[in-house]
């Protein structure tokens, strides 16, 4: 087979150029530290690296959401702690106002103190998160979520009930449902509500006796008839009847028991409920027991307590009743706020777990990506040295072949 000089030169040049390109590519890889610079270098590895990068980016995005949730939960827990302290001061003021020796003026001073505490609580309920939104704005509110309207409307929630959540991968809260925390506590003791009704004989308020918040003795016996209330109706100063009535039509009465003997401070029990009436009831005095409802507002409770403290010329029994009712409602209003604070604490615990999980997920993704596309520096340097040696040998070979030209012999 004949091999022309031109063909030999062309093959040598092609070989040199190929080796130069390989050396250049290898040098680029060594400089970048990447084995796979484009998909064509290793399609399978490039695909693995792309999936790992997507996972890493999702972890970074989720971590930002977790950080936002942590900031909100921390602020919310602090705000609810402030609210709990303020309500504790409310409770102390109410206990002090129950002092039988207090004059109407002294009770008014306590009412003014409660009014000041109410303003502080309203400020907490409308506390901003520092980023243009509100801690208790529900699913979003660009304005303070609570508005204080004149009586009898009172404080209303104008946000959107519910919660904003982070992405589906973490599902952490980015807001708190203000209506649920501040306006929807269960009334009474959480199961039923006791209250004094007008005297059936005189048509006036009960003046000589008062009742406590009551308690549950047998949950299975509570309100056996749906939409029903009960009434302790005194037929004299020493006897009473227990009546049942439909909530829709309270005047329709069914006698449950009659002629029961009354003893001051002794519990009256029926249908799994226990209610204690104290004092000296009059003929016709009545105390009603109705099912609890999720309708107790922190601010409505304070408004009622303030209005009762500002009343004058009340009897000892009326003062005792208003104090007992107010203390019962304060305790009930604290319930949802404590639950919301506890939930914020649980979110902070979850956030620690989520942060650890996302950090591990990010590290795993980075490791997968590195394994797929990063360069083995030792191996790369060895390959580059071999390629450089080969390139040098090719250059020397070409220079020798070039001297075999006929023109070299003819050259004078």
Question: What was the pLDDT predicted at 202?
Answer: 93
**Fold annotation for 34-186+296-374:** f41 fragment of flagellin, N-terminal domain (1.20.1330)
Question: What was the pLDDT predicted at 160?
Answer: 82
Cα(376)–Cα(245) distance, rounded to whole angstroms?
86
Check whether the bond before 309 is cis (ω within 30° of 0): no
Residue of higher predicted confidence among 30 and 264: 264
Question: What was the pLDDT predicted at 269?
Answer: 95
Cα(69)–Cα(78) distance, rounded to whole angstroms?
14
Long-range contacts of 104-113 (CB under 8 A, 24+ apart): 104/312, 104/313, 107/309, 107/310, 108/309, 108/310, 110/309, 111/305, 111/306, 111/309, 111/310
Cα(91)–Cα(160) distance, rounded to whole angstroms?
30
Residue of higher predicted confidence among 141 and 200: 200
- pLDDT digit string, tens, across residues 214-263: 999 999 888 888 899 999 999 999 999 999 999 999 999 999 999 999 99
Cα(28)–Cα(210) distance, rounded to whole angstroms?
91
The token duo for 25 is 């590519």
Question: Given a cut of 70, is residue 268 above it in pLDDT?
Answer: yes
Q: Where are the domains of the chain?
A: 34-186+296-374, 188-292
Question: Given a cut of 60, is residue 178 above it in pLDDT?
Answer: yes
Long-range contacts of 324-327 (CB under 8 A, 24+ apart): 324/210, 324/211, 324/212, 324/213, 325/195, 325/213, 326/94, 326/301, 327/91, 327/94, 327/95
Query: Which of 83, 27, 54 is CA-nearest to residue 366?
Result: 54
- pLDDT digit string, tens, across residues 313-368: 999 999 999 999 999 999 999 999 999 999 999 999 988 888 888 888 888 888 88
Indicate the pLDDT class of residue 164, thresholds 50, 70 and 90.
Answer: confident
Instruction: For residues 170-187, give the mean pLDDT.
Output: 90
To the nearest whole percent, how much of the chain has pLDDT over 90?
Answer: 54
Question: Given a cut of 60, is residue 409 above it in pLDDT?
Answer: no
Q: What angle do CA 185, 186, 188 make, to 5 degrees?
A: 125
The token duo for 213 is 């918040």
To the nearest whole percent, how much of the chain has pLDDT over 70?
Answer: 79
Cα(148)–Cα(119) distance, rounded to whole angstroms?
10
Question: Given a cut of 90, is residue 297 above it in pLDDT?
Answer: yes
Cα(23)–Cα(386) distance, rounded to whole angstroms?
10
Cα(244)–Cα(11) distance, rounded to whole angstroms?
111
When the pLDDT of each residue in the chain is averaged and rounded to a whole number, the result is 85
Q: Are 323 and 98 in contact (CB under 8 A)?
A: yes
- pLDDT digit string, tens, across residues 369-382: 777 666 656 565 66
- pLDDT digit string, tens, across residues 108-128: 999 999 999 999 999 999 999
- pLDDT digit string, tens, across residues 195-215: 999 999 999 999 999 999 999
């Amino acid at each position: 087979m004949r091999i022309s000089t031109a063909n030999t030169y062309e093959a040598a040049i092609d070989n040199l150029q190929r080796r130069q390109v390989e050396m250049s590519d290898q040098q680029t890889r060594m400089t970048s530290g990447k084995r796979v610079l484009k998909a064509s270098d290793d399609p399978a590895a490039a695909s693995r690296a792309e999936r790992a990068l997507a996972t890493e980016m999702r972890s970074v995005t989720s971590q930002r959401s977790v950080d936002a949730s942590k900031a909100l939960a921390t602020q919310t827990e602090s705000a609810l702690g402030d609210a709990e302290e303020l309500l504790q001061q409310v409770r102390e003021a109410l206990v002090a106002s129950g002092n039988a020796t207090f004059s109407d003026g002294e009770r008014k001073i306590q009412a003014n103190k409660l009014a000041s505490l109410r303003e502080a609580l309203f400020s907490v309920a409308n506390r901003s998160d520092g980023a243009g939104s509100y801690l208790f704005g529900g699913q979003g509110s660009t304005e303070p979520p609570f508005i204080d309207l004149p009586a009898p409307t009172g404080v209303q929630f104008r946000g959107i009930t519910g919660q904003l959540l982070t992405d589906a991968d973490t599902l952490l809260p980015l807001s708190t449902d203000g209506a649920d925390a501040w306006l929807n506590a269960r009334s009474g003791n959480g199961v039923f509500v006791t209250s004094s009704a007008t005297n059936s004989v005189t048509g006036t308020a009960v003046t000589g006796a008062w009742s406590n918040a009551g308690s549950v003795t047998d949950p299975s016996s509570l309100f056996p008839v749906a939409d029903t209330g009960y009434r302790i109706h005194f037929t004299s100063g020493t006897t009473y009847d227990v009546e049942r009535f439909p909530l829709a039509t309270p005047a329709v009465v069914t006698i449950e028991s009659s002629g029961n003997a009354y003893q001051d401070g002794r519990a009256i029990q029926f249908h799994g409920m226990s209610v204690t009436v104290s004092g000296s009831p009059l003929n016709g005095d009545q105390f009603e027991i109705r099912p609890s409802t999720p309708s107790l507002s922190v601010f409505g409770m304070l408004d009622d307590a303030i209005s009762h403290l500002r009343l004058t010329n009340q009897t000892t029994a009326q003062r005792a009743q208003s104090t007992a009712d107010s203390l019962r409602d304060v305790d009930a209003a604290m319930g949802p706020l404590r639950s919301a604070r506890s939930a914020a604490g649980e979110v902070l615990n979850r956030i620690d777990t989520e942060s650890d999980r996302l950090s591990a997920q990010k590290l795993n993704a980075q490791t997968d990506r590195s394994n797929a596309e990063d360069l083995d520096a030792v191996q790369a340097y060895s390959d580059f040295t071999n390629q450089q040696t080969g390139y040098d040998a090719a250059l020397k070979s070409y220079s020798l072949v070039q001297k075999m030209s006929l023109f070299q012999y003819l050259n004078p």
